[in-house]
Amino acid sequence: MRKTESRAMTLTDVPMLRRYQGRGVILDTELHMTHDLSAGPTSYLSSLLFNRGIYSYLARTGSDEVIGQFRFKGEDVNAHLLYVGPNYDDVSETAWLALMDVLAREAGRLGAHALTATIDVNSPLFEIMRRTRFACYMRQRIWQHAPMQAEAVLPLTEETSSDQIGIMALMCHTIPTLQQSVAIPAGEGQGLVYRVQQQVEAYVVFTEGHHGVYLLPFIHLDVVPQAQAILRSAVALIPAAARVPIYVGVRSYQGWLDRVLEEMGFNPVAEQAVMVRQIAAGVRHVAFTRGKINSKLEPAHRVTPPYWSSARPNDED
């Protein structure tokens, strides 16, 4: 029987990380769309190996070895998978199972209540994640447009701490309850707010990079007729959008935005699943921090049976 080893990566493992140049999978859409990874994802991710908030682990079974990285900051609820490699077909399933277990275990030790990832639904890794207790919480489609010079026709403003209650109210109206803990953005993005009579009716989170701009919109059904104007105004306020491709993520709960983007000249480039592995059961309570949406997942008084055995959303096949 082959021995399985799993542990945190160290400086001595950097050559191994670089050896897998171009042979891994990026599991963070925001990162994938905004950074140039054409030279191979590890060329970028190896520079994150010892950055604060980035955690890297490896698993070995016999001669097979796999590596993975996730992002987690103390104020977050969930840890977010960034990268796993090499490719699925290059190693045994046992090694993948060991890697996913160590990533979930270590994320839990840091205080995360779930481990999340976004993955192409056609990727072989999609099935292995399902077999390691990841559930598909929602689907999302990624739309792309060439660099665009747009005109701001609606008064969107940068979010401030005073917007937080209004933004959270918007999300409670637009995101199904069981998906809120996953759908609420927790990356490095900035936010733009659209108000109608002092009510927050739209919120667009965006991230800029040398490779692209990624937008994740939250738009109330009351302002559907203004959706295209909201998106154009958001693009107009993002300087990089005139120089690099623009990507928009549309989650399944706001699928009506697909038609809006198609009318704007966007093209679909990816079909993804938002995967979640629950680490602990809990009850969500909303909290607010200055300039950033945040939330706290407090452990329930009783956490058995495990969350995934009886209370998770149905997988969207």
**Tens digits of per-residue pLDDT, 255-269?**
999 999 999 999 999
Residue 299 has φ and ψ, to the nearest 5°, of: -60, 140
Per-residue confidence band for 276, with pLDDT thresholds at 50, 70 and 90: very high
pLDDT given at position 2: 62
What is the mean pLDDT of the segment spanning 69-90?
82
Do 168 and 111 lie in one domain? The reply is no
Domain limit, last residue, from 269, 287, 310: 269
Residue 105 has pLDDT above 80, yes or no: yes
Do 154 and 257 lie in one domain? The reply is yes
Do 115 and 208 lie in one domain? The reply is no
285 domain residue, yes or no? no
Q: What are the structure tokens assigned to 19, written together?
A: 């050896």
The larger pLDDT score, comparing residue 41 to residue 144, is at 144
pLDDT given at position 306: 31
Q: Which domain holds residue 21?
A: 4-133
Residue 42 has pLDDT above 60, yes or no: no
Q: Which residues fall within 8 angstroms of residue 299, CB to CB, at 6 or more apart?
A: 280, 281, 282
Domain limit, last residue, from 113, 133, 153: 133
Q: How many domains does the chain have?
A: 2
Contact predicate 276/134, CB 8 Å:
yes
Per-residue confidence band for 106, with pLDDT thresholds at 50, 70 and 90: very high
115 domain residue, yes or no? yes
Residue 209 has pLDDT above 70, yes or no: yes
Q: What is the mean pLDDT of the chain?
A: 81
Residue 62 has pLDDT above 80, yes or no: no
298 domain residue, yes or no? no
What CATH number does the domain containing 37 carry?
Answer: 3.40.630.30
Do 157 and 259 lie in one domain? The reply is yes
Q: Is the dihedral of CA 219, 225, 231, 234 positive or negative?
A: negative
277 domain residue, yes or no? no
Do 129 and 179 lie in one domain? The reply is no
Do 184 and 75 lie in one domain? The reply is no
Do 96 and 146 lie in one domain? The reply is no
287 domain residue, yes or no? no
